[in-house]
Homo-oligomer: A and B are copies of this chain.
């Protein structure tokens, strides 16, 4: 056995995303052959007892309630930023300045200008960095990207994506706090735009190239909700729903929509791309399938193929089980860290970097500005 290089991890946060990332670090070496071996050094969270419980559950060697202590530790190689959006910039920039690699949850920041400071920090420090747009690494999604890059779709006419949920329809759902900070504009920056559309936009930019203009509308269906912090009803500052259309640099049209008021959809994240020669479609609810239509098939036998992406020659799947046996949501994070560690070994950075995430943030900013003004807006680049 060749000795592996250890990569010491400092985890900031112990919520949902800290779980997905911790799980990925624990599993990656069981399934991927890597030069690097992650070591879970420390987890940081606000409530000491919960931080301790998290460390115990996931095997972190230590815990703390002060993220600066983690960032300052000499023996930590990488900082994971898995806290609400309003803390991303401060922590990530401090980590970069301390010479740590940084993996940051999405959206990168509250807005583009703030994201830019993060990009500048990691690039000035020259540290490897990654924004955790995990869906790029669902095997069916990765395969879609490969098909596009191989030119199989031909000229693209349409890119269509949505992310529909239904969990905030009840007026009883509060804003703020551990489970519902995504409804609090101060913590989240925006509503579905930053939380959900950011995923759609990240994939779109990756698969279909730059967006040159957007035109958007937003809505806040529930105007005030109880604040977990104040205990009082307070105005809701986020967008409950957002729809926009856009133009891509390659001439194709985009249509995007997100809401948390689409009864019946838990997490209907889909994209569909229509090209001259072929089309593809994917849906998070059945994440192991890719729908594919190829016009070059014999005429009478043309139809959408429902491809069960679970074979060894499909992206990532040789690392898992046997054909027909599906993996799930969490595996996208395992793939993400596997690719990141592979990138460290080869010296070839993997995306989405902070700079990639900045482009997504600029589109989000343009979407919100367009919704406010009723005008077409060109995103910064």
Q: Which positions 339-360 of chain A face chain B at CB distance < 8 Å?
A: none
How far apart are the CA atoms of A158 and B322 in the complex, in Å?
23
Question: Does A230 make an interface contact (CB < 8 A)?
Answer: no
User: Chain B residues with Cβ under 8 A from A295's Cβ?
Assistant: 166, 263-264
**In the assembly, how many copies of this chain are there?**
4
A273 to chain B, nearest CB (A): 9
Q: Is the CB of A324 within 8 A of B221?
A: no
Q: Is the CB of A329 within 8 A of B323?
A: no
Q: Which positions 315-349 of chain A face chain B at CB distance < 8 Å?
A: 320-331
Question: Does A278 make an interface contact (CB < 8 A)?
Answer: yes
Q: Is the CB of B329 within 8 A of A321?
A: yes
Query: Taking A266-B308, A276-B169, A306-B304 as contacts, is the C-beta distance between A221 and B374 under 8 angstroms?
Result: no
How far apart are the CA atoms of A30 and B40 in the complex, in Å?
14
Contact among B30, B251, B290 for A57, CB-based, below 8 A: B30
Q: Is the CB of A302 within 8 A of B305?
A: yes
How far apart are the CA atoms of A356 and B164 in the complex, in Å?
32
User: Chain B residues with Cβ under 8 A from A177's Cβ?
Assistant: none
Question: Does A16 make an interface contact (CB < 8 A)?
Answer: yes
Query: Taking A169-B276, A243-B255, A261-B274 as contacts, is the C-beta distance between A285 and B324 under 8 angstroms?
Result: yes
Q: Is the CB of A305 within 8 A of B305?
A: yes
How far apart are the CA atoms of A251 and B255 in the complex, in Å?
21
User: Chain B residues with Cβ under 8 A from A314's Cβ?
Assistant: 300
Question: Does A241 make an interface contact (CB < 8 A)?
Answer: yes
How far apart are the CA atoms of A165 and B267 in the complex, in Å?
27
When C-beta atoms are compared, the residue in chain B nearest to A146 turns out to be B300
Question: Does A67 make an interface contact (CB < 8 A)?
Answer: no
Q: Residues 289-316 of chain A: 1 if any B CB is under 8 Å from the residue's CB, otherwise 0?
A: 1101111010111111111101101100
How far apart are the CA atoms of A302 and B307 in the complex, in Å?
6
User: Chain B residues with Cβ under 8 A from A376's Cβ?
Assistant: 374
Question: Does A379 make an interface contact (CB < 8 A)?
Answer: no
Q: Is the CB of B264 within 8 A of A326?
A: no
Interface pairs A-B: 4 shortest CB-CB: A267-B324, A266-B324, A264-B293, A303-B305
Q: Return 15 A-B CB contacts under 8 Å, by A number.
A: A16-B322, A29-B57, A157-B169, A157-B263, A160-B257, A169-B276, A215-B374, A264-B278, A267-B324, A267-B325, A292-B303, A299-B313, A300-B311, A303-B306, A303-B308
